[in-house]
Structure formats: C-alpha cells, structure tokens
C-alpha cells in the first residue's frame, strides 16, 4: 500500500538533482577541480557576514523565545518589518497581517497552490515554459493539472496568444518567475502589464478569481538597470512567494515568506486557506531562529556581481565558440541552445567532457540545456575549453 506516486517521485529524482548526484561521483573519480558542475543553483557568493554575526548575537542573548514556537504564520513583528521594507523599497502596499513566513519558497509554493485550488482534479494551473520543474510536483500535490504555455523563442517571454487560449473556466492559478529559472529572462513592467490584462479579462469572462503566484527567489539577482515591478501593484488576486535562499546564500536554511495581496478578493479567506494548507502539509512555523534573523537581512544580499560577471562571461564566451545563448538579465542561470534537437543526448555527451548541464526537457521545452552562473570565476573559465571541445564534436 505504498503510495505509487510518492514512490515514483522518490525514485525518479529531478533531472537537476540526478545530475548533481552524478557530479558527486565524477568529482570523487576525477577530483572536484576537474568536474564542471553547472547543474544546481547552489549560491556560491559568500553569505553576507551580518548573517553569521546576527546568528551569533541571537544565540548569545538566547532567551527561550528565540527557539520557541511562534504563531503558525510567523512572528508578528517580523512580518510587519517585512511589509515596511517592501512598501518602502517597491511601493508594494502589502500588509504584515497577510504575510506568512515559510520554510523556503518550495513550501510557499506548495502551500499557496494547495490553498487556491479546489482539491477537485478539474483545476488547472498554468506555467510558462521553460519553468522550474518542481512546479509540476507541487501542482500535482494540490490535485490540479499542469497546463504549459509555450514561450516566444525569440524573447523567452510568454507566447501571449497561447496564454490567452489556454486559460479556461478551470484555471485556478498562474505561476510566473522573474528573473527566470532557467532562462535568466526578466519580465519588464510592460510584459507583466500585458499578462495581467489578459488575466483580468479572463477573470471577468469566467467570473471567478484566477490567482497569479509570483515566485521571486531571484528578485534581487538582477543584472540590468530595471526597477522590479511588484506584482501586487498590477494585479489584485496575486500572491508573492519569496525565499532568502539565493539572494543571501542560505539555501539550506529554508526561510522565506509569502504574501497575499491586500487587494485580493476575500484576502482574509485566502490567507486563512494558506494557514490551513500549511497546517495540513505539516508546517508548524518557519524556523524561529531564522525568523528573527529576517529583520537583519531585508535588502541584504551576497555579492550579486559574482553572478553577473559569470553570467555575462559565459554568455559572451559561449557565443564566441558558436553556441546560441539566451542573454541573461538575472537569476543564477544561462540557457544554451543545444547544437542538436535532443537535449538529453546533448547533456549526456557533455558528461563525457565532465560538463554537467541540465537538459531542458524537464523545464518543458526541448533543445536547450541550463548552466549555472554560480561556479567560481576560475572554474567557469577553466570549463571553456571543454565547451569548445563539446561544440566541435558536433561540427
């Protein structure tokens, strides 16, 4: 009576995790300096020193409350500090009482999706290809269907005609992710506006809310001179999911938050459903020490230039070799067109050169691979001859 779906999820690791584990084996065999593990977005910029300092000072003054239960939705003061920061920085108009602290963005997504879908298997959730593969896992956990919208392959923005056609009366939610994993593409305000306009029309047409979930772990990892448009200002029925993992180089600590837009229809009910979903999935509260760390981390990031330099370096050098590369605006990734149609075969071939590149199939498009921009500068440079050899193999 083991759950077959869970067994299959556990036995078939994500393509990313699979490569990550293969990388470990290769590193033991060839030495880690000779393996170019572009597989996992594990931030390598040192975490801001204030984080370790504040951890120490919290532990120094540790009364019981530091390690004690907080409210299930998180410490009230911490939530208010987040709201104040976001409102000051992004004119976000969010409220502390609609913020819910989460065990990372994955928890935020799985909780939100469970809350805003009926549980009935007719529900549909739209994702824009290419997309982070775990979205499918969390959508299925909510017993809803994954509906994939194709990209415009020139810009890697959504194909808006396809988007319009795929919204049905059963659409419960739409997930966006900018800067994007895996393309690095940033959605400028006019793109978001277009997307929200379509959604608003469809809400009217079908006469029910369609929730827009904005997954923002890369919000501050932005290489271009653009202001981040806070989605709560553009679309009422929106939920923001954030994690400190990538921006503050603390991905193992699983700390983040989600926000229900103050203007969301029945906001307090949506928030209550989120509290219920968190409870149902076994989340009691976000880790308390890291909750109390948040006020000291707001707006604090590790050195984003490390990623920017690597991203632009990879983009330029790979282009010189002959690869077609999507120009990254942010995030931890560079999206590379495979010189053959079959991205899985290309990724396999790359392994022979000790290059670990994630094939794009699991992101919902074919013919690309994803490389991370968070290897060290030196390791990134040393990988170039391998990329050249790999390219030449297909010439």
The candidate with the shortest Cα–Cα distance to 95, out of 105, 108, 85, 80, is 80
User: 10 Å Cβ neighbour count for 363?
Assistant: 27
- The HSE-up count of residue 16 (CA atoms within 13 Å, CB side) is 18
The only residue of 137, 147, 351, 384 in contact with a second copy, by rule CB under 8 A: 137
118 binds a second copy (CB under 8 A): yes
Pairing of the two strands 333-337 and 368-372: antiparallel
Which residue's CB is nearer to a second copy, number 151 or number 251? Answer: 251
The only residue of 39, 44, 181, 373 in contact with a second copy, by rule CB under 8 A: 44
What string marks each residue from 348 to 367 as x (binds a second copy by CB under 8 A) or -?
A: --------------------
What string marks each residue from 239 to 268 as x (binds a second copy by CB under 8 A) or -?
A: ----------xxxxxxx----------x--
CA dist 218 and 173 (Å) reads 21
SS (H, E, C) 80-95: HHHHHHHHHHHCCCCC
The only residue of 195, 274, 369, 371 in contact with a second copy, by rule CB under 8 A: 274
CB of 342 to a second copy, least distance (A): 27
What does 98-166 look like in DSSP terms, one character per residue? GEEEESHHHHHHHHHHHHSS-SSTT-EEEEESS--THHHHHHHHTT-EEEEEPB-TTT-SB-HHHHHHH
The only residue of 99, 115, 259, 350 in contact with a second copy, by rule CB under 8 A: 115
Which residue's CB is nearer to a second copy, number 120 or number 392? Answer: 120
Which residue's CB is nearer to a second copy, number 171 or number 229? Answer: 171
202 binds a second copy (CB under 8 A): no
56 binds a second copy (CB under 8 A): yes
CB of 14 to a second copy, least distance (A): 8
276 binds a second copy (CB under 8 A): yes
CB of 392 to a second copy, least distance (A): 34
Which residue's CB is nearer to a second copy, number 72 or number 384? Answer: 72
- The answer to whether the bond into 130 is cis (omega within 30° of 0) is yes
Place of tokens 């997954």: 215
135 binds a second copy (CB under 8 A): no
2 binds a second copy (CB under 8 A): yes
CA dist 23 and 36 (Å) reads 8
Q: With the C-alpha atoms ordered 272, 277, 283, 286, is the resulting torsion angle positive or negative?
A: negative
User: 10 Å Cβ neighbour count for 251?
Assistant: 19
Which residue's CB is nearer to a second copy, number 89 or number 121? Answer: 121
The only residue of 146, 147, 289, 351 in contact with a second copy, by rule CB under 8 A: 289
User: Which residues have C-beta within 8 Å of that of residue 392, sequence separation ≥ 6?
Assistant: none
95 binds a second copy (CB under 8 A): no
72 binds a second copy (CB under 8 A): yes
CB of 278 to a second copy, least distance (A): 8
């Amino acid at each position: 009576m083991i759950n077959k779906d869970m067994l299959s999820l556990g036995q078939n690791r994500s393509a990313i995790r699979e490569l990550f584990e293969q990388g470990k084996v290769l590193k033991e065999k060839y030495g880690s300096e000779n393996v170019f593990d572009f597989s996992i977005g594990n931030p390598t910029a040192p975490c801001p020193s204030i984080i370790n300092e504040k951890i120490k000072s919290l532990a120094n003054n540790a009364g019981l409350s530091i390690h004690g239960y907080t409210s299930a939705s998180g410490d009230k003061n911490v939530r208010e500090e987040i709201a104040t920061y976001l409102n000051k920085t992004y004119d976000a108009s969010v409220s502390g009482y609609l913020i819910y602290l989460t065990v990372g963005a994955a928890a935020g997504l799985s909780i939100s999706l469970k809350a805003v879908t009926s549980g009935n298997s007719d529900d549909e959730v739209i994702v824009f290809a290419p997309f982070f593969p775990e979205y499918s896992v969390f959508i299925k956990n909510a017993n809803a269907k994954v509906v994939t919208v194709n990209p415009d392959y020139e810009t890697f923005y959504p194909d808006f005609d396809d988007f319009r056609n795929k919204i049905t009366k059963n659409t419960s939610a739409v997930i966006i992710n900018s800067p994007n994993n895996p393309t690095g593409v940033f959605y400028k305000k006019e793109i978001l506006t277009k997307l929200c306009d379509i959604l608003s029309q469809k809400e009217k047409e079908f006469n029910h809310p369609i929730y827009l979930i904005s997954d923002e772990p890369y919000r501050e990892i932005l290489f271009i001179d653009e202001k981040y448009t806070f989605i709560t200002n553009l679309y009422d029925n929106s939920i923001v999911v954030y994690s400190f993992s990538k921006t503050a180089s603390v991905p193992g600590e699983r700390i983040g938050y989600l926000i229900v837009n103050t203007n969301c229809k029945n906001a307090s009910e949506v928030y209550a459903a989120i509290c219920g979903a968190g409870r149902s999935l076994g989340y009691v509260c976000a880790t308390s020490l890291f909750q109390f760390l948040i006020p000291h981390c707001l707006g604090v990031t590790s050195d984003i230039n490390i990623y920017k330099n690597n991203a632009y370096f990879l983009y330029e050098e790979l282009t010189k070799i002959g690869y077609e590369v999507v120009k990254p605006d942010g995030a931890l990734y560079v999206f590379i067109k495979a010189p053959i149609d079959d991205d899985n075969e290309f990724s396999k071939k790359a392994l022979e050169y000790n290059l670990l590149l994630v094939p794009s199939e699991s992101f919902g498009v074919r013919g690309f691979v994803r490389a991370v921009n968070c290897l060290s500068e030196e390791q990134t440079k040393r990988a170039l001859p391998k990329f050249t050899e790999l390219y030449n193999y297909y010439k």
